[in-house]
C-alpha cells in the first residue's frame, strides 16, 4: 500500500522535496563529523602534550575510516536497492534487503574488532606513528574498537531511515550521539583527566545511543519497512546485489584510509611529527567539505532511486541537475574561504605556533582542487542512486587508487615533503573532469526502461 511518504517522493515538487529531505541530512552529517573534530579540538589543547596527542589520534584515522567504510559497504548498496524496491511497491523485498544489510554489519563488526585489536601497534607504526606518539594512538583506538558494533549499526542502518523519506528522524539519530559526545568530551578528557582515552570513551557511548535510536525506529510501526529477525538470515543473491552496489562507496571510504597511510608515511619520512600533525588538521578541513556535500547527496539519493524505480525519468533528471548545481556552488565557496583564511582553521585545532604556521602555508595548496569536487560527489551519488555500480566504482578507483596514492608516493622524490601536499589537488582536478565526461556519455542511456529492467533483474535473480 502506498504511504504518505511514498507519495511525496513521487509527486512533490523536486526542489521543495530536495530541501525537505536533504537539509536535515546535511545537518545530521555536519553534526556527525563533530565526533572526530570535537575530539581533535579538545585533544589538541591537553596541557603539555596537546600537539603530540593530536598527532597520535590523527594516525588512528585509517582504522576509523575502515570501520566506517564497512558500514558504507552495507548501506551504500542496501539503501538504494531498498529505495528502488519501495518505488516499485515491493516492501517485502526492501525488508529482506534491510535484514541482509544488518547481517553484514554484524559480521563486519566482529571481524574488524578482532583484526585491528590483534594488529594494533604494528599497524599504527605503519600509519605514521612514532615512538613519541604511539602511546596516544594505541590508547585511543583500543577503546574505539571495543565499540565497533555500535558504529557499524548507527552508521550502517541510519541510511535505511532516510531512504524512506524520514530525513528528520535520521537527523535526530545523529544529533543524539553528537550532542552527548560534545557534552562528555570535556568531562572525560579534562575533568576526569582521562585524556585521549576519555575522548574515545565519549565517542563509543555516543555511538551506542545512536545505534539504539536507529534500531528502535526500524522495528517500530512508524517505519515503512521493518527490521525482522527472520530477514537476518543471509540470502546469497541479495547479499551479492548489496555488495556489488556497495563496493563503490566502500572503496571511496576505504581508500581514504590507504591515502592517509601513504601520506602520513611520506610526511613522517620527509618531514617528521609536525608534518604528520598538519595532515590531521587538513583532513578535518576536508571533512568539513565532504560531510555537508555527502549529507546533501544522501538526502537527494532516495528521490533519485525512488523515481527511477517508478520510471519517472524527468523527475530524476531534475533532481540530478539541482543536486549538481548546489554541490558545486558549496564546494567552490567553502574552498575559496579556506584558501583565503587558512589561519582560521589552523587555530581551531592547536595552540602550537609551528603547527599553525605550517598549516597556513600548506592548506591553500592542498585544498585548491576541492573547489570543483562538488561535481564529482553529485555524479557519484547519482550513479549510486541509479544502481550503476560499475561506473560509480570506476570513478571511486580513479581518484584515489589510480591518481592520488601514486602521486603521493612519486612527487616527494621531486619536491620533497611538499610533494605529498601537491598530490591532492592534481588528483582532484583530473578525477572531476573524468567523472563529468562519464556522466555526459552515459546518463541518457541509463535513464531508460531497459536499464531499469536490468537493475531490477540483477537484484531479484
Which pLDDT tens digit goes with each residue over 27-42?
766 766 666 677 777 7
Residue reference for cell 544488518: 102
Gyration radius of the chain's alpha carbons: 21
Q: What is the mean pLDDT of the chain?
A: 84
Residue reference for cell 620527509: 270
Percent of the chain scored above 90 by pLDDT? 28
Rounded distance between C-alpha atoms, residue 6 and residue 165, angstroms? 8
Report which secondary-structure segment, H or E, holds 254.
helix 236-270
223 vs 329, residue with greater confidence: 329
Span 147-173, pLDDT tens digits = 999 989 988 888 888 778 787 787 788
Span 310-336, pLDDT tens digits = 778 888 888 899 999 999 999 999 999
Span 282-312, pLDDT tens digits = 888 887 887 788 878 877 887 888 888 777 8
Average pLDDT over residues 355-372: 92
- SS3 call for 52: helix
Q: Helices (H), strands (E): how many in the chain?
A: 21, 0
Closest by CA to 308, choosing from 96, 451, 159, is: 451
pLDDT of residue 205: 94
pLDDT of residue 296: 85
For residue 86, give its domain range.
4-460
Q: Is 264 exposed, middle or buried (0-12, 13-18, 19+ CB in 10 A)?
A: buried
Q: End-to-end CA distance of the chain, in Å?
A: 24
459 vs 335, residue with greater confidence: 335
Check: pTM over 0.85? Answer yes or no.
Answer: no
Percent of the chain scored above 70 by pLDDT? 91
Average pLDDT over residues 210-238: 89
pLDDT at 201 over 90: yes
Q: How many domains does the chain have?
A: 1
Amino acid at each position: 500500500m502506498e504511504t504518505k511518504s511514498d507519495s511525496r517522493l513521487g509527486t512533490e515538487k523536486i526542489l521543495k522535496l530536495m530541501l525537505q529531505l536533504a537539509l536535515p541530512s546535511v545537518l545530521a552529517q555536519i553534526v556527525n563529523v563533530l565526533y572526530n573534530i570535537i575530539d581533535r579540538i579538545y585533544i589538541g589543547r591537553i596541557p603539555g602534550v596537546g600537539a603530540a596527542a593530536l598527532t597520535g589520534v590523527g594516525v588512528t584515522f585509517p582504522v576509523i575510516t575502515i570501520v566506517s567504510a564497512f558500514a558504507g559497504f552495507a548501506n551504500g548498496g542496501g539503501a538504494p536497492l531498498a529505495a528502488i524496491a519501495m518505488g516499485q511497491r515491493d516492501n517485502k523485498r526492501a525488508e529482506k534487503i534491510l535484514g541482509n544489510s544488518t547481517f553484514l554489519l554484524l559480521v563486519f563488526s566482529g571481524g574488524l574488532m578482532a583484526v585491528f585489536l590483534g594488529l594494533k601497534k604494528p599497524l599504527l607504526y605503519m600509519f605514521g606513528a612514532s615512538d613519541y606518539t604511539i602511546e596516544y594512538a594505541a590508547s585511543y583506538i583500543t577503546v574505539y574498537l571495543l565499540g565497533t558494533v555500535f558504529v557499524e549499526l548507527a552508521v550502517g542502518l541510519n541510511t535505511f531511515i532516510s531512504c524512506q523519506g524520514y530525513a528528520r528522524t535520521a537527523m535526530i539519530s545523529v544529533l543524539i550521539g553528537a550532542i552527548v559526545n560534545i557534552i562528555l568530551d570535556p568531562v572525560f578528557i579534562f575533568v576526569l583527566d582521562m585524556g585521549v582515552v576519555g575522548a574515545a570513551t565519549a565517542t563509543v557511548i555516543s555511538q551506542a545511543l545512536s545505534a539504539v535510536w536507529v534500531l528502535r525506529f526500524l522495528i517500530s510501526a512508524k517505519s515503512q519497512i521493518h527490521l525482522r529477525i527472520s530477514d537476518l538470515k543471509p540470502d546469497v543473491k541479495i547479499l551479492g546485489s548489496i555488495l556489488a552496489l556497495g563496493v563503490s562507496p566502500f572503496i571511496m571510504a576505504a581508500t581514504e584510509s590507504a591515502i592517509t597511510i601513504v601520506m602520513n608515511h611520506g610526511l613522517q619520512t620527509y618531514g617528521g611529527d609536525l608534518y604528520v600533525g598538519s595532515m590531521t588538521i587538513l583532513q578535518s578541513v576536508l571533512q568539513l567539505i565532504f560531510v555537508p556535500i555527502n549529507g546533501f547527496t544522501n538526502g537527494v539519493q532516495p528521490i533519485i532511486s525512488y523515481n527511477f524505480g517508478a520510471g519517472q525519468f524527468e523527475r530524476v533528471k531534475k533532481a540530478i541537475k539541482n543536486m549538481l548545481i548546489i554541490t558545486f556552488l558549496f564546494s567552490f565557496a567553502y574552498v575559496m574561504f579556506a584558501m583565503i583564511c587558512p589561519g582560521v582553521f589552523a587555530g581551531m585545532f592547536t595552540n602550537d605556533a609551528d603547527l599553525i604556521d605550517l598549516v597556513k602555508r600548506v592548506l591553500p595548496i592542498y585544498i585548491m582542487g576541492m573547489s570543483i569536487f562538488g561535481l564529482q560527489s553529485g555524479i557519484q551519488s547519482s550513479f549510486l542512486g541509479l544502481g550503476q555500480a560499475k561506473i560509480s566504482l570506476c570513478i571511486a578507483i580513479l581518484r584515489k587508487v589510480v591518481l592520488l596514492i601514486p602521486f603521493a608516493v612519486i612527487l616527494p622524490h621531486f619536491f620533497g615533503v611538499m610533494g605529498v601536499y601537491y598530490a591532492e589537488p592534481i588528483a582532484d582536478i583530473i578525477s572531476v573532469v573524468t567523472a563529468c565526461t562519464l556522466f555526459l556519455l552515459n546518463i541518457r542511456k541509463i535513464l531508460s526502461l531497459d536499464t531499469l529492467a536490468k537493475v531490477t533483474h540483477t537484484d531479484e535473480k
